[in-house]
A = this chain, B = another copy of it.
Amino acid sequence: MNEQLDATFHALADPTRRAMISRLGQGERSIGELAEPFAMSLWGAAKHVRVLETAGLVTCRKVGRSQMCRLRPNPLAQADRWLRQWERLWTNRLDKLEALIEQEKESK
């Protein structure tokens, strides 16, 4: 249970892996496609994908000679829940959520 949070936050702590998640947000991608934007070997990228996979953030399935990866929703929701616990403590105002969603638009 706590290990899940460990793995999730650890997986998110690397900019390469966050970029991969962003990429996967646009749809299924192969490991090669995920590796391509980075100056990194294929095997290096595959290890990042493996971290995301063992953290439960991503699932992969074999399609021909490619490994197609896609996002899984549940684990981030758990991490988000943990964070929001503190946000609530600080703000004490739930309708601040609206303002955050506005900021999110311009940051993406």
- A: residues with CB less than 8 A from B are 2, 5-6, 9-10, 12-15, 18, 21, 25, 71, 73, 76-77, 79-91, 94, 97, 100-101, 103-104, 107-108
Contact = CB atoms under 8 A, between A and B. Distances in A.
Contacts of A94: 101
Nearest to A73: B90
A94 B18 CA distance: 23
8 closest A-B pairs by CB = A9-B13, A10-B13, A73-B90, A80-B83, A9-B12, A9-B9, A2-B15, A81-B104
Contacts of A77: 87, 90, 100
A13 B81 CA distance: 15
A44 B37 CA distance: 39
A71 B84 contact: no
Contact of A108 (B10, B15, B85): B85
A100 B94 CA distance: 12
Contacts of A86: 21, 25, 71, 73, 76
Contacts of A73: 86-87, 90-91
